[in-house]
Amino acid sequence: MSKPYASSEVEIEVPFHDVDSMQIVWHGHYAKYFEIARCELLESINYNYDQMVESGYGWPVIDMHIRYPKPARFKQIIKVKAELVEYEERLKITFLITDAKSGERLTRGYTTQVAVDIKSGEMLFASPSVLAEKIGI
């Protein structure tokens, strides 16, 4: 795989309200962890959700894939790394969740977003030029 166009990383301490009776993270909360990292990534390229709207485009998630090799647990500090790997026709971001202390891989996945013209509601088949500008291309 080639070098990502942008990347960022956040640390999260797994809170009690995210775990089940076995004190492991319920699978649905990983989407929230991805979103926290995605927001940090978008901030790092100066194209957060408010700036997307200002540019005239919405970017809904149309696909998400998650693999759970090992669970995260209550009070564990995890690192969530987000990397922007595709931008031309869609916004594809990969995610890697690791234990902050050991570096052990816990979860990985990706999301795909597409540009939608806010005024017309039409999905675009190519990403608008504003995205390429934000990542320096």
Report yes or no on 95 lying in a domain: yes
Place of tokens 């005239």: 56
| Residue 20 covered by a domain | yes
Contact call for residues 95 and 108 (beta carbons, < 8 A): yes
Q: Would you say residue 1 lies in a domain?
A: no
The residue range of the domain holding 123 is: 6-134
Tokens at 96, concatenated: 């890697």
Torsion region of 136: left, alpha or beta (phi above 0 gives left; psi -120 to 50 gives alpha): left
Domain count along the chain:
1
CATH at residue 77: 3.10.129.10
pLDDT band at 2 (very low <50, low <70, confident <90, very high): confident
Domain presence at residue 62: yes
Residue 130 lies in a domain: yes
Tens-digit pLDDT profile for residues 94-134: 999 999 999 999 999 999 999 999 999 999 999 999 999 99
Checking if the pLDDT of 77 tops 80, the result is yes
What digits encode the pLDDT tens for the residues 39-76? 999 999 999 999 999 999 999 999 999 999 999 999 99
Residue 3 backbone phi and psi in degrees, to 5: -65, 140
